[in-house]
Amino acid sequence: MRLSRAFLPTLKETPAEATIASHRLMLRAGLVRQTSAGIYAWLPLGWRVLQKIEQIVREEQDRAGAQEILMPTIQSADLWRQSGRYDAYGPEMLRLRDRHDRECLYGPTNEEMVTDIFRGYAKSYRDLPRNLYHIQWKFRDEVRPRFGVMRGREFLMKDAYSFDVTKEGAQHSYRQMFLAYLRTFARMGLKAVPMRADTGPIGGNLSHEFIVLAETGESQVFVSQDLLDMDALASAPDYGADLAPAVDAWTSHYAATEEMHDPAAWEQVPEGKRVSARGIEVGHIFYFGTKYSASMGLSVQGPDGKTVVPEMGSYGIGVSRLVGATIEANHDEQGIKWPDAVAPFKAVVINLKQGDAACDALSERMYAAIPDSLYDDRSERAGPKFADADLMGHPWQVVVGPRGAAAGVVELKRRATGEKQEVSPEDALAKILG
């Protein structure tokens, strides 16, 4: 994309309403625009990041055996009456009436709807296990929307729902998602730590939150340094295997949110390894047994001919929140430092002298050779070009100036480290594409 023609608006001033770095930078770098409280339009730069995050989530859900569907945003109140949650869910639920005066709602989550869909087809134990997920906008009328997309009212979530015949099967499904989450966040360049969590209004008895440590996080967490040192990608066995050892390797270390914190157990963690910090919840998984299947009449015929009520779990990832969380974990005073896997552009080619034949030719050549690159071809001074590149946070900057263009070299800057080097165009390409 050529910056001279792109819709990539950046702001010089810091917007007054933004109190944390990610919110500030998302507005300044032109990722999103607030349209009303807690509701955002995604501009090209933000939309590209959101789609990259979404795609990693999708690939890892698919790899773990979940199947993608798409459920609507508008749901019928009747469904929620069946589970008893229509009245239990508070003012966070956006309730609507259609022209026939039928009660509807904008979905804050989908346990009821997916149970209804599944009960329409599942007849026998052979139809299980299944795990269905979708990536869809949710609405929760949060009392205090804040921190930009981190706590919005409309937000994008991946939610998966598992159906199993037995408790053991449900536990296996839970572990599949547990490990899929570790892989998902690691691929995004994020360290998200699984912690014992309260099951809250979804109910049930087993739950973990995946938390990115950040000073601006809303949750207080307690975690052993040993867990922070673990490598998520190294620990994913084949999903068909016995997953208990891989999961236990993580859950055997102390990690808990404030609600689940156990001071006595905390004392057992060696003093030098006790990390008490703030964190951002980017994912949450639950095993809740037959809460929805029983209340909504989902049952199948078991192997012995008797009726079985399936065991269920649900598994959420805050896809839009992840954009903010990634920035919280990767930024400096100048701007964003995107991890490669989710960067909106792989590199920016900065032409320092637009109109100079040698600069133009070398810049065009670099731009054409790097897929997913941005070309700063504006007739701007060098200062603002560098400032925008740092603000938008592209992992690589390829700087083409008149002296270098004449000598056949470019300056290559790695945004994450600030490291700069003069290299031949070929070496620059090898590094970027390597």
Distance of CA 67 to the CA centre of its chain: 18
Residue 312: closest CA among 111, 75, 119: 111
Minimum Å gap between C-beta 218 and ligand ATP is 6
Q: Report the residue closest to ligand ATP, judged by CB.
A: 318
Strand partners, 136: 157
Minimum Å gap between C-beta 135 and ligand ATP is 12
Decide which of Mg ion, ligand ATP, none touches 142; Cβ closer than 5 to 8 Å per partner kind: ligand ATP
Is the CB of 284 or the CB of 337 nearer to Mg ion? Answer: 284
Decide which of ligand ATP, Mg ion, none touches 158; Cβ closer than 5 to 8 Å per partner kind: none
The window from 148-156, 175-183, 380-388, 420-428 that contacts ligand ATP (CB under 6 A) reads 148-156
Decide which of Mg ion, ligand ATP, none touches 151; Cβ closer than 5 to 8 Å per partner kind: ligand ATP
Among 54, 116, 281, 377, binds ligand ATP (CB under 6 A): 281
Minimum Å gap between C-beta 308 and ligand ATP is 27
Q: Per CB under 6 A, does 289 bind ligand ATP?
A: no
Among 40, 80, 125, 155, binds ligand ATP (CB under 6 A): 155
Separation CA 198–CA 200 (nearest Å): 6
Do residues 22 and 41 touch, judged by C-beta distance below 8 A? no
The full DSSP string for 160-220 is EEEEESSHHHHHHHHHHHHHHHHHHHHHTT--EEEEE---GGG--SEEEEEEEE-TT-SEE
- Note the residues at the interface with Mg ion (CB under 5 A): 284
Give the HSE-up count for residue 371: Cα atoms under 13 Å, Cβ half-sphere: 2
Separation CA 319–CA 419 (nearest Å): 31
Among 289, 313, 316, 404, binds ligand ATP (CB under 6 A): 316
Residue 9 structure tokens:
């608006």
Q: Per CB under 6 A, does 175 bind ligand ATP?
A: no
Is the CB of 191 or the CB of 284 nearer to Mg ion? Answer: 284
The full DSSP string for 322-387 is HHHHHHHHSB-SS-B---GGG-SSSEEEEESSTT-HHHHHHHHHHHHHSTTEEEE--S--HHHHHH
For ligand ATP (CB under 6 A), the number of binding residues is 15
Residue 372: closest CA among 33, 51, 16: 51
Instruction: Give the three-class secondary structure for 68.
Output: strand
Please give the biggest Cα pair distance in the chain: 81
Q: For ligand ATP, what does the binding mask look like between residues 321 and 350, x meaning CB under 6 A?
A: x-----------------------------
Residue 167: closest CA among 69, 288, 78: 288
Instruction: Give the three-class secondary structure for 7.
Output: coil
Minimum Å gap between C-beta 186 and ligand ATP is 17
Is the CB of 281 or the CB of 376 nearer to ligand ATP? Answer: 281
Among 134, 140, 187, 337, binds ligand ATP (CB under 6 A): 140
Among 8, 282, 370, 432, binds ligand ATP (CB under 6 A): 282
Separation CA 225–CA 229 (nearest Å): 6
User: Phi, psi at residue 97, to the nearest 5°?
Assistant: -130, 140
Minimum Å gap between C-beta 56 and ligand ATP is 15
The window from 20-28, 170-178, 223-231, 278-286 that contacts ligand ATP (CB under 6 A) reads 278-286
Of 202-231, binders to ligand ATP (CB under 6 A) are none
Is the CB of 38 or the CB of 129 nearer to ligand ATP? Answer: 38
Q: Per CB under 6 A, does 157 bind ligand ATP?
A: yes
Is the CB of 159 or the CB of 390 nearer to ligand ATP? Answer: 159
Is the CB of 140 or the CB of 415 nearer to ligand ATP? Answer: 140
Minimum Å gap between C-beta 106 and ligand ATP is 13
Is the CB of 273 or the CB of 278 nearer to Mg ion? Answer: 278
For the chain, state the CA radius of gyration.
24
Strand partners, 34: 40
Dihedral over Cα of 54, 59, 65, 70: its sign? positive
Q: Per CB under 6 A, does 85 bind ligand ATP?
A: no
Is the CB of 140 or the CB of 385 nearer to ligand ATP? Answer: 140
Do residues 66 and 132 touch, judged by C-beta distance below 8 A? yes
User: Phi, psi at residue 399, to the nearest 5°?
Assistant: -100, 120
Q: Per CB under 6 A, does 283 bind ligand ATP?
A: yes
The window from 127-135, 221-229, 281-289, 358-366 that contacts ligand ATP (CB under 6 A) reads 281-289
Contact residues toward ligand ATP (CB under 6 A) are 109, 140, 142, 151-152, 155, 157, 281-284, 316, 318, 320-321
